[in-house]
Structure 1
């Protein structure tokens, strides 16, 4: 009898079998798909080998090498084997080889073998040179070699050009319709010539004029003219010919020959000693300039046109400058060249291509920059030279303003009388050129610098009297500060900026910096005389103080400058009155007082910090002056503490109170030292008492403050130095008083549960007691046998070891008791 499972269990069994069949079917289908892909997939392609040299490049190399070898063979035949043949044989061989080499390119071109035709044509052109050499050796032996070379190069250039034009191939067209090898701006019809003959013909044209000049023993001017004429011809070819190889060759040749001619003409202009030779050199430079400007106008590319125009403008100025150098006094050469550079700016109004106009303007800018650089030694000497008076203050008033500036071994720059004129002209040009431009602010800033420099050096250049020179320089400082104050103010946040102009951003700051530099130089000039020093410093104090009060934007620099000059004035007053430095220090303290009062009235102005820093520096100067006299130093420190205390009354300067306390403490210490007090408590107690008072106040305000923070610094300041002094003191009063004080501190710490007084007082008390018992202990140790101390130490260690756990428990108990204190 068959037993069937219940239907539910049989259903579960069937579902499990079906799931296994589905999984197996999925595996088989995946395997089938992989096998199909493997059978029908294409075999992998073999790796492509990288080609290191293309077929055209290999062909060109082979053709070039072949042409070179044939040319070398022809040269060797001509130079070595020429003498073994008769006249008819020589002519027959060379003529036949040359004609063959020049005629072979025709059938090669018809078959489309252009590269091979180029190589064979190059060989034929080289053979023509050998033909010309052979002709001279046979038929024209009496002709001078250089002249024959000039004529031969001209004939060869014509022959090569005709050959290159006559031998050509039909012009293939590109997809755009433009002929291959032709530039868009050129027009070329007919067959395209070979690439090699025409450039070689152009190179050959570089020789005829130059060789002819050498042949007739022409002078440097004629040789230079020949070079520049050749450069002009090259430029014309580069501008007019449309074929790219010829145009590139002509451009390179024009640049090379032009550079050679310009250098030669420049040397002639520099070495010219009379007007006629300078005029000839100027004519050559003018010719070079005309070539460059013509190229600039006809060149379509912007960058080459700009460079050519720049070069042309500079050459024009150099041409005129060479004539001015020999016809005018030395000091007027640079101004004359500068005026020529300024005239170039007229190109802005001319109808010229934009690159040419910008190139001429750039040339003018270069000339002006060079003129300004010529004045830099003069300006540097006038500004920095007076610093030499610092080493010889009040020695003697100089004879004039130039003697006041030249205080070192540096010589006065030659031909510098027109330096101020050059600076003024460039400044005026910048003002006029910057109108209505985006860079107006920058141009006006540079113009301001140059204008101030021009006026500042006038007294030294004109050798004005010493006092007049100082007055002029002082007026420069006043004028520059007035200009800085009159400049438009920057708009406040949220305020409409209706009066905004490009000049307001860089000018005020630049003007203030110029005023500071000029005032420093003026102050150094005033050091030559006692009266001048006092007057100049007083005037500078008033001027900079007025500028700071007039405009707060410039007061950030002007206010500290006023205080600095005030400190210098107080020192000068003290020296003029023959005071000792320590007594002058009391007068210098007036500057920190003024700085503190002014800073308190500024109410968060940007000038506050600079004023306070300058006042602090003046205070340090006063301390340094009084350093050699302790009583006066103590007074100065105390007065400085008073000034710092007054500053600390301001809510935002409470931290200055610490500085005031330190100054008062230093003042007390210096006074005690001047009295010869050597007791340390006299120095430490003035610190301990205020520190403990502050600690008490702090703990009352915040009971959570630790006693170590509140009381430990004040107690340590007195207890530790006193303890050190007590250990070296043989008398009994100091240990007794220190022990009593330490006991009192310990008891107060135990009474109020304060950890710091308890630990510090107990430690000091213990050490004082040991100090007092030390003599007796020493006597006892000296009376005992030598074996007793080691024995006692051993017993002590045994006792500690036996009761180690109890000792740890006792130490833990002591630590917990201390931990319950504050």
Structure 2
């Protein structure tokens, strides 16, 4: 029964054959002498299999057991030759695949031939005459080509691929060697022509062999298609890409590469795609040549009159042809349209300068507006391409506007002010006129507006309404920024410039407030408002001594609306904007307070105490005036930052101690008044302890002037909290006030206990102890007892040195006897004392 020779299946992959004899799976075509020979071999193999099957003896049937009454002599069995041992079960292959062996061998063989040829030319070439060299080149190359053709006809793919590559390499070596030796007058060719000749030969050989191979069982020689592409690339590089002025040659290379690729692609797909790929490379070279021409330092009239623009025009036309060419994929058309618009933009902005910086900026805006018109009015393909370039151009215009504003404000800050008129410094010679800032702002707004057509696309992260809101919300602030730069360029008085900045900030902030319910629009407008506000602060900060009121007025004008807006946004439930505005408002208010202090010529001490008091007030008012947790936290955090600024502003340790006392007292009040802020008591303790240490370092003689009012306030609020809340402990609500009232005075009284301060402190400690005992409060009891004990022990200090040693020993003995006698009776009082202590609040 035949198993191998089956006219319906492929002998290689066992897939079905079509009526023409071609495999439906691997594409093997069973036609010709080789197919007939293969059919005969397969039939012979089937016959051998049948003969082997017939030679295997059938197994003998097993006979049933028979009872034997007498011995029977039977024939002696003939031993059978042992058969072949059973083959081992197939396992996982660990060696080199059989198909890779010939590939490796053929590759190494081809490499050896190439190296041999190079060595032969380098060593033995000079020993041969002109005729001998010619014959050797022709013989070797022809022999290799003949062997490669034989391998192709016999269907040996790996051998054919390698041999054809070796043949192509030998052809290139032959041509370069012939040119070096002067064969056929090739040495007269210049370098570019020599390289182009080699490339053309490789291109012709690759295309010719690839076309001829289509009639063989292999069907295609992929390596030769690659050789053809490499040859074409060599020709293009030699004759177009590397020329000093590659514009004309690159234009021709684009056309030729595209035409040749389209011509051969139906029959040679790989070569066709490779040749088509050379067209965009040549186009990029053409575009680069045009861009370099656009940067030339020529005036516009000369540049256009001399036709320096034509490479950009050619690049645009060639890319536009691809947009409307048939059989171009839909996804590639917008890319081609974008590439067609790039040279147009470069031409509009060419040459390198139009004669002035203002003209250059106007040309930039005009190019963005042209792209915006394409984005808004053109068809879908061109509109998508124009939208991408418009977005990039609009972003660049915005960055230029921001840079211009920074430069102008920097000039205002560093330039001199006219002493007689108070006018700001005039722009430096050669600077860009300030009116171009308005043109830039208009370009940004119009460019962004042109993109609204594409806002409904799937790739846009916001909705169409959201995108429209972003443009409409940011537009007033952008235009106001342009007008502010225009105003600064008119050399105004500084307060006029600051007023203009406040107006511009107000316009941008008003737009943000109007669009406050649309998050993207509000964020865009608020960003512009914050930037313009920072510029305004910078303008005010540069005021001289005669205009010291200006920074204070500007910061106040910015702080008050920010605080008001934060409270309104807090009522509306907008946590993010309310918290940001609250933090900014508190910090600006602190700066305004300090600047007003400088304007009023008060000392740094008063400024530091005032700023600490302001921070304390802001932190304490955070809870009553806000509804959202985020707004409250922002106010308290900003207040803490302002308090840190107050400590830093203090001129000495004593003043810093006052600022820390005010801050610590405020934090302690927060912990006393609000249950959710009780954990801040530890922070208050740290701040008050730091203030005490600073007072010790500064040797403050009367700290009670600062500590007693704050302590009285803390104790009053704590007592009120105790009456209203029966569950709160006295340590939490009274501890900080008691420590602040007694400990600073105790530290000073230890140096001189027999003094008025010591007497008053002792009386206060005893009263505090009595308060704790009568009201059953742990904090007064503990603090009063501790302070009293420390003072009493301090009074024993002068006497301790005069007491004899035997008195100490006797006292210890008496104490031990008393303890031993009263031990048993004291046990009864332990339980009663425990109940008393635990009942303390």
Shift in alpha-carbon separation, 1:532–1:486, aligned structure 2, 3 A? same
Distance 2:624 2:735 in 1: 39
Q: How does 1:142-291 map to 2 (within 5 A)?
A: 143-146=188-191, 149=194, 152-153=197-198, 156-157=201-202, 159-161=204-206, 163-170=208-215, 192-208=219-235, 211=238, 220-221=244-245, 223-239=246-262, 241-242=265-266, 243-273=268-298, 281-291=308-318
Name the SS of the counterpart of 1:483 in structure 2: helix
Partner residue, 1:453 = 481
For residues 97-496 of structure 1, the aligned pairs below 5 Å read 97-133=140-176, 135-136=178-179, 137-140=182-185, 143-146=188-191, 149=194, 152-153=197-198, 156-157=201-202, 159-161=204-206, 163-170=208-215, 192-208=219-235, 211=238, 220-221=244-245, 223-239=246-262, 241-242=265-266, 243-273=268-298, 281-295=308-322, 298=325, 300-301=328-329, 306-323=334-351, 325-348=352-375, 354=381, 357-382=383-408, 398-400=422-424, 418-434=436-452, 437=456, 438=463, 439-444=467-472, 447=475, 450-463=478-491, 466=494, 469-487=497-515, 490=517
Give per-residue Cα distances to partners, 1:209-259, cap 9 Å, x unaligned. Answer: 664689xxx9722x4432443244334444552433213432553454444
Contact residue 545 and residue 558 of structure 1 kept, 8 A: yes
> Relative to 1, partners in 2 of residues 1:245 and 1:767: Cα closer, same or farther, differing over 3 Å?
closer
- Tell me, yes or no, if the aligned pair for 1:523 and 1:533 is still in contact at 8 Å: yes
Q: TM-score, normalised by structure 1?
A: 0.66
1:485-564 equivalences under 5 Å are 485-487=513-515, 490=517, 506=523, 509-510=526-527, 512-514=529-531, 516-524=533-541, 529=547
What per-residue deviation string (whole Å, max 9, x for no partner) do you get for residues 287-344 of structure 1? 3344444445557456665554444432332244233x35442332243244234323
Q: Which residue in 2 is equivalent to 1:818? A: 833
1:724-769 Cα offsets, whole Å, 9 max, x none, are 7776547598888888888888899889999988888788777777
Query: Where do 1:668-707 residues align within 5 Å?
Result: none
**Matched residue, 1:49:** 92
**How many Å apart are 1:155 and its aligned residue?**
5.1
State the alpha-carbon separation in 1 of the partners of residues 156 and 228 from structure 2: 23
Q: Partners of 2:193 and 2:214 in 1: how far apart?
A: 34
The within-5 A match list for 1:702-781 is 729=752, 731=754, 778-781=801-804
Closer, same or farther: CA 814–301 of 1 in aligned 2, 3 Å: farther
- Residue 156 of structure 1 aligns to a residue in which SS? helix
The answer to whether the 8 A contact 1:483-1:511 is kept is no
Taking the aligned partners of 1:421 and 1:450, their CA distance within structure 2 comes to 11
Give the RMSD, CA atoms, in angstroms: 6.2
1:70 match:
113
Deviation of 1:430 after TM superposition, in Å, equals: 0.7
Distance 1:164 1:58 in 2: 25
Paired residue secondary structure (1:50) = coil
The aligned length equals 717
Alpha-carbon distance between aligned partners in 1 of 2:790 and 2:834, rounded to the nearest angstrom: 23
Give the Cα–Cα distance (whole angstroms) in 2 for the partners of residues 146 and 341 of structure 1: 44
In structure 2, runs of 5+ residues without a counterpart are 1-85, 457-462
CA distance in 2, matches of 1:540, 1:378: 23
Report the CA distance shift for 1:393/1:728 in structure 2 as closer, same or farther (over 3 A).
farther
Post-superposition Cα deviations, 1:560-581, rounded to whole Å, max 9, x if no partner, equal 8778777766766665565666
CA 1:444/1:525 → structure 2, altered by over 3 Å: closer, same or farther? Answer: farther
Task: Classify 1:46/1:810 alpha carbon distance in 2 versus 1 (closer, same or farther; 3 Å).
Answer: farther
Q: Is the 8 A contact 1:416 1:461 kept in 2?
A: yes
Aligned equivalent of 2:101, options 39, 43, 58: 58
**CA displacement, residues 350-374 of structure 1 (integer Å, 9 cap, x when unaligned):** 87674x6534432333333334333
Structure-2 separation of matches of 1:629 and 1:162: 91
Give the gaps of 5 or more residues in structure 1. 1-42, 173-190, 491-500
Q: 1:255 to 1:368 in 2, by over 3 A?
A: same
In the alignment, the residues of structure 1 paired with residue 620 and residue 475 of structure 2 have an alpha-carbon distance, to the nearest angstrom, of 39
Give the 3-state SS of the residue equivalent to 1:140 in structure 2: helix
| 8 A contact 1:153–1:205 mirrored in 2 | no
TM-score for the superposition, normalised by structure 2? 0.65
Distance 1:693 1:541 in 2: 33
The structural deviation recorded for 1:399 is 2.8
Q: Residues 592 and 619 of structure 1 are in contact (CA less than 8 Å); yes or no, is this contact kept in structure 2?
A: yes
CA distance in 1, matches of 2:800, 2:203: 126
The structure-2 alpha-carbon separation of the partners of 1:165 and 1:678, relative to structure 1 and needing over 3 Å to count, comes to closer
Partners of 1:698 and 1:710 within 8 A in 2: yes
Counterparts of 2:487 and 2:194, CA distance in 1: 64
Partners of 2:389 and 2:514 lie apart in 1 by 35
SS in 2 for 1:48: coil
Cross-structure match for 2:66: none
Question: In structure 2, what is the Cα distance between the partners aligned to 1:651 and 1:154?
Answer: 87
Aligned equivalents of 2:502 and 2:621: distance in 1?
25
Give the number of the structure with larger relative contact order, counting CA–CA contacts within 8 Å between residues 6 or more apart.
1
Question: Structure 1 59/255 Cα, relative in aligned 2: closer, same or farther at 3 Å?
Answer: farther
CA distance in 2 between partners of 1:790 and 1:594 (Å):
56
Alpha-carbon distance change, 578 to 464 in structure 1, aligned in 2, over 3 angstroms: closer
Distance 1:358 1:124, change over 3 A: same
Q: Is the 8 A contact 2:441 2:482 kept in 1?
A: yes
Change beyond 3 A, Cα 1:735–1:238: same
Instruction: Measure the CA separation in 1 of the matches of 2:499 and 2:749.
Output: 68
